């Protein structure tokens, strides 16, 4: 277990998240891609805290901030999905063509 | 001891990446939610092996709750909640795969090639105690700001999903106009 290995694992999770967020049609699946990217971010932040900051607790605090961002993303994301479904009866990106340039 | 920790780390690392990948490989939305939860649990376990027990456990706790809610949303909005019919739910597949692989390679190269300081935590400290003192001491403003942000999000989410707004029903007057085909 080393900082390098942890960062590679985090990069793999982030890459899977990027793939998911770009390739999925359903809004909820896109949100899962975003969550996977935030998962990778938490792993990388804690890896840096563990290997490179000498145990500075502010590193852990940053991880808690990322978790708050994750909760905010989920709450606003679900609210937007509900709103879009109500207004446009859309549950996949292809049904929201008006935003397309 | 460190041999066991190393072994566990690799088990959880492989589990996190594989389950994270399976999220987008399954036909069933509900299964996707639980694969994502498995990925978070594996990352939480890695955090515990990194001596961040508090962060690892609250990550698992938070995700258990969030994925349960997510599964309900899946059933509400999904094209194929139970995965009974095989179907494809992807678009721009090649671009997305290239972007994902590119992000992985670029970030992994940064992780491997950049020269980060090598300063592990000194032994004999308790990270959970340190974090508690930090949260309720020096960094209390950050902690409180996160709480206020979550409160604002609750209000915003309710405003977004409320069925009836100040000017009428949510779906009134905001239906997409029927456009003539311009082909």
Q: What percent of chain B has pLDDT over 90?
A: 45
Residue A100 lies in a domain: no
Nearest to A57 among B100, B134, B175 (CB): B134
3-state secondary structure of B105: helix
What was the pLDDT predicted at B31?
83
What was the pLDDT predicted at A100?
55
Nearest alpha carbon to residue B39 among B64, B68, B11, B18? B18
Is residue B159 within 8 Å of residue B151, measured between CB atoms? no
- Beta strands B164-165 and B168-169: pairing type? antiparallel
Q: Domain range for residue A19? A: 3-89
What was the pLDDT predicted at B90?
77
Beta strands in chain B (DSSP E): 164-165, 168-169
What was the pLDDT predicted at B71?
79
Backbone angles phi, psi at A26, to 5 degrees: -80, 140
Distance from C-alpha of B126 to C-alpha of A58, rounded to nearest angstrom = 14
Residue A36 lies in a domain: yes
Backbone angles phi, psi at A91, to 5 degrees: -125, -5
Nearest alpha carbon to residue A21 among B95, B71, B64, B85? B95
Residue A99 lies in a domain: no
Encoded tokens for A32 = 């899962």
Residue A97 lies in a domain: no
Buried b (16+ CB within 10 A) or exposed e, A87-96: bbebbbbeee
Is residue A15 within 8 Å of residue B107, measured between CB atoms? yes
Please count the structural domains in chain A: 1
> B-contacting residues of A 29-88, CB under 8 Å?
29, 32-33, 35-36, 39, 42-43, 46-55, 57-58, 60-61, 63-65, 67-68, 70-72, 74-76, 78-83, 85-88
Residue A44 lies in a domain: yes
Encoded tokens for B106 = 């670029």
- H helices present in A24-94, as ranges: 27-52, 57-88
Query: Which domain CATH number covers A16?
Result: 1.10.287.3510
Residues of A in contact with B45 (CB under 8 A): none
Tell me the average pLDDT across A65-94: 86
What was the pLDDT predicted at B177?
56
Alpha-carbon Rg for chain B, nearest whole angstrom, is 22
Choose the weakest-confidence range: A81-85, A91-95, B2-6: A91-95
Tell me the average pLDDT across A69-97: 84
| Sites in chain B below the pLDDT cut of 50 | none
Residue A18 lies in a domain: yes
Between the alpha carbon of residue B67 and those of residues A8, A71, B12, B40, the distances in Å are 25, 11, 19, 10
Q: Do A50 and B118 touch (CB under 8 A)?
A: no
What was the pLDDT predicted at B25?
85
Number of residues assigned to chain A: 101
Residue A96 lies in a domain: no
Is residue B57 within 8 Å of residue B128, measured between CB atoms? no
ipTM associated with this complex: 0.90
B72 touches chain A (CB under 8 A): no
What was the pLDDT predicted at A101?
47
Residue A64 lies in a domain: yes
Q: Do A72 and B49 touch (CB under 8 A)?
A: no
Give the angle B109-B60-B29 at the CA atoms, nearest 5°: 80
């Amino acid at each position: 277990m080393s900082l390098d290995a942890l960062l590679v694992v985090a990069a793999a999770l982030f890459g899977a998240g990027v793939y998911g967020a770009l390739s999925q049609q359903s809004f909820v699946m896109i949100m899962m891609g975003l969550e996977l990217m935030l998962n990778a971010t938490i792993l990388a932040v804690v890896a840096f805290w563990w290997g490179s900051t000498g145990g500075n607790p502010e590193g852990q605090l940053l991880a808690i901030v990322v978790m708050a961002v994750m909760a905010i993303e989920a709450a606003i994301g679900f609210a937007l999905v509900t709103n879009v479904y109500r207004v446009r009866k859309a549950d996949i990106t292809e049904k929201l063509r008006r935003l397309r340039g | 001891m460190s041999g066991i920790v190393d072994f566990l780390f690799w088990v959880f690392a492989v589990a996190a990446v594989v389950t994270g990948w399976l999220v987008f490989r399954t036909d069933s939305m509900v299964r996707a939610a639980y694969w994502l939860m498995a990925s978070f649990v594996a990352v939480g376990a890695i955090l515990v092996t990194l001596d961040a027990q508090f962060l690892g456990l609250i990550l698992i706790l938070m995700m258990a709750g969030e994925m349960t809610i997510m599964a309900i949303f899946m059933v509400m909005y999904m094209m194929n909640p139970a995965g009974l019919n095989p179907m494809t739910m992807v678009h721009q597949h090649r671009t997305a795969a290239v972007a994902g692989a590119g992000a992985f390679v670029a970030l992994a190269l940064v992780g491997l090639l950049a020269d980060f300081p090598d300063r592990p935590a000194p032994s004999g400290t308790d990270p959970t105690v340190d974090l508690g003192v930090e949260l309720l001491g020096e960094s209390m403003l950050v902690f409180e700001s996160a709480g206020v942000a979550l409160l604002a999000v609750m209000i915003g989410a309710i405003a977004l999903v409320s069925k009836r707004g100040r000017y009428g029903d949510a779906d009134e007057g905001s239906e997409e106009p029927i456009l003539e085909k311009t082909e």
